[in-house]
Amino acid sequence: MALLEVNDLAVRYKVTTPLFRKQRYLYAVNGVSFSLDRGETLGLVGESGCGKSTLGKALVKLEQPYRGSITLDGKDLIHAKGRELHEVRKKFQMIFQDPYSSLNPRLSIFSALDEIISLHTSAKRAERREQAAQLLEKVGLSAEALDRYPHQFSGGQRQRIGIARALAASPEFIVADEPVSALDVSVQASIVNLMQDIQRESGTAFLFIAHDLAVVEHISTRIMVMYLGNAVELAPAKVLTAAPHHPYTAALLNAVPSLENRERQLPHLHGDVPSPLAPPPGCPFHPRCPFATEKCRLEKPPLAAVPGEPERFCACWNQL
């Protein structure tokens, strides 16, 4: 059984409308379904505003879904409350994008880690401090850092502390929301390698959200592509980057600078992303797609298995 199962998940926001006008909604996530196995990393990519971060926040209960289901290790996350929620909450954590704002500047590093440790254990302070020191050691920092404050660390070091904080409850699933985008390229590699080491040691599953396809391909088992709140392609990482099936995935890959892309002659994106307040009928990508047909303009394709490729799912009428 998969560790995480997401079915038809949707997150919407009310939009201010004039008096006596029909209430309007912005669908940031619109009917996304996928599963995640233990010890797997699912990469999530797409343009800014496509709903990646909203999806990640919904999975760790920072956003309330409008419909759909989220099941983690057989437990319903959406309706969990009270003691049940407390028990299931330690199974998931989140690593945030900005290492400069994700840590409270008024708390020492020990206090920041102890917030999580003390929530899930009855150990005494000395034991909790030892556990915090072990967490810092795991992410490549010394125990001396415990009594220091966030402003005394570099961006890469703060992100390591953020990872240590996420590991404090020994979670089975971590959402990493653009964890390296605010860091220098040289630091990015060390953070990605650290996350891979942690996964090999603990078997933690990751949802790795990013816009850099090169980084996502390196760290991910599978990759899911989102466009305008919808999942449009899902496949093993190497398979998807070697031969994208959805025109949007192909255009994203074409935007990654490399000699290989020049030889592929993949399509370029034209036009702007439609407003999520007024999404187009049919396939959400059809206004920008060079291969759109009349069916694409009228009917929305489901994310379904591609014939002959059971591991690849694509939401494109030309592939189904």
Residue 133 identity (one-letter amino acid): A
Residue 316 identity (one-letter amino acid): C
pLDDT for residue 86: 83
pLDDT for residue 267: 58
pLDDT for residue 262: 47
Mean pLDDT for each 10-residue chunk of the chain (320 residues)? 95 87 91 96 94 96 95 93 86 89 92 91 90 95 95 93 93 94 86 93 95 90 97 97 94 73 57 87 94 95 94 94
What is d(CA 148, CA 217) in angstroms, rounded to the nearest whole number? 35
What is d(CA 157, CA 134) in angstroms, rounded to the nearest whole number? 16
Buried b (16+ CB within 10 A) or exposed e, 89-107: bbbbbbbbbbbeebbeeee
pLDDT for residue 265: 53
pLDDT for residue 16: 84
pLDDT for residue 264: 52
Question: In the 8-state DSSP scheme, what is residue 182?
Answer: T
222-227: strand order across its sheet: 92-95, 173-177, 205-209, 41-45, 222-227, 230-236, 309-314, 304-306
- Give CA 136 to chain center in angstroms: 24
Question: What is the value of pTM for the model shown?
Answer: 0.92
